[in-house]
Amino acid sequence: MIKKLRRFSKLATKPSYTDEFYHHPGTMPGTIIIDADAPPPIIFLIDYNQTDFVRQQIATPEECIPYLDTESVSWVDVQGLGNQDILQRLGQVFDLHPLVLEDVVNVPERPKVEDYEDQLLFIARMVVPKERTCGFYSEQVSLILGKNYLLTVQEEPEHDCFEGVRTRIEKGRGIIKQQKADYLAYALLDAIIDGFFPVLELYGERIQELEEEVMLNPTRQTLQDIYKIRRELLQLRRAIWPQRDAINSLIRDSSVLIDQDVRIYLRDCYDHAVQVMDMVETYRELASGLMDVYLSSVSNKMNEIMKLLTIVSSIFIPLTFVAGIYGMNFNTEKSPYNMPELNWYWGYPICMGTMGAIAGCLLFFFWRRGWLENSVKIQKD
């Protein structure tokens, strides 16, 4: 089940933490674990400056070495974690610390930021909304910022939210081609944080639908949907909370790799993270309120059903009493007091009329008290 969480899960399945994905006690630091189901890495290179632009797919990590020695900005995007040899060669090309490579490969990691003097590691959680459904894909994205390069490592080769940044670089929109690699890192972080808003918009619409469903016709499926949303919103909260703190750490702590001008943009990214956090908390409270409304609605519906059954029982109790008396069949020849009505010519119509009159009087009494209105509505539902 942890594999589903790691590979574009809805974050709705409880992970089963086993030794297969976590180090045994005493394992040497820097040990990496490759998931057997992870796709093979695909490496893309984007190299640009104010005038030039190169975008290509490369077969080996060594092909990007010539671009790293230039003053242009090089963005190496690795999509997939299914080849240990390529990942280790990638660590050699970029001179990655063994602990950096361990954090990048051994997913899932908690979002965080680590400063390694000449490199800055940022681990984030990226979410992408599912099409036509209320749900999302999730994967870990690692950003390693160097002097003139940015290395990003994604779990999967699909469903990222970086295409807008790639288009801005290719078309020369904005100031991204005039800035250094630290601005590129900010742009990707901002895209990751902004990717939460479409997901939360879907949850807002779904919660609104559930509110109407809970008030009008709550079912067991409604309860399951509410529980599912609460669980997924909790996973979103666990993803955005440490990312907010990590971005704040980038702003607060000094690093030679991030210019002061870029820190101003990071403050805007931090504001977006705070907005996402507020929306997640609001939706969680709404979902919790929906659970209470559901229980109250089900209880009220049960009370109305019990009231309807009580009304029906109240009508038939006197009728059963009359029918029981006239069902005893005493012999009138032995005594004139043994139900002389059994010999009446109109005895049966009078008995049925009396029973009907009793039922009608009871219904009229219940109607005047207003007990029949909600009961009739529940019966129709």
Q: Which CATH number fits domain 2-295: 3.50.30.50, 3.30.460.20, 3.40.50.1000, 1.20.1510.10?
A: 3.30.460.20
Provide the pairing of β-strand 120-129 with 112-115: antiparallel
Cα-based distances in Å from 14 to 2, 193, 231, 232, 284: 8, 24, 9, 10, 18
Q: Please name the residue ranges forming H helices in 145-219.
A: 163-171, 181-194, 196-216
Would you say how long the chain is, in residues? 381
Which of the pair, 224 or 4, is modelled with greater confidence? 224
Contact 36, 7 (CB under 8 A): no
Q: pLDDT by residue (tens digit) across 161-220? A: 899 999 999 988 889 999 999 999 999 999 999 999 999 999 999 999 988 888 888 888
Which pTM does this prediction carry? 0.75
Q: Average pLDDT, stretch 234-238? A: 91
pLDDT of residue 68: 87
| Domain definitions of the chain by residue range | 2-295, 298-380
Q: DSSP assignment of 230-283, as one string? A: HHHHHHHHHHHHHHHHHHHHHHHS--TTS-HHHHHHHHHHHHHHHHHHHHHHHH
pLDDT of residue 22: 59
Provide the pairing of β-strand 112-115 with 73-79: unpaired
Whether 266 shows a pLDDT value over 70: the answer reads yes
Q: Which residues pair with 122 in a beta bridge?
A: 113, 143
Pull the structure tokens for residue 149: 């390069």
Provide the pairing of β-strand 53-58 with 112-115: unpaired
* pLDDT, mean over the chain: 82
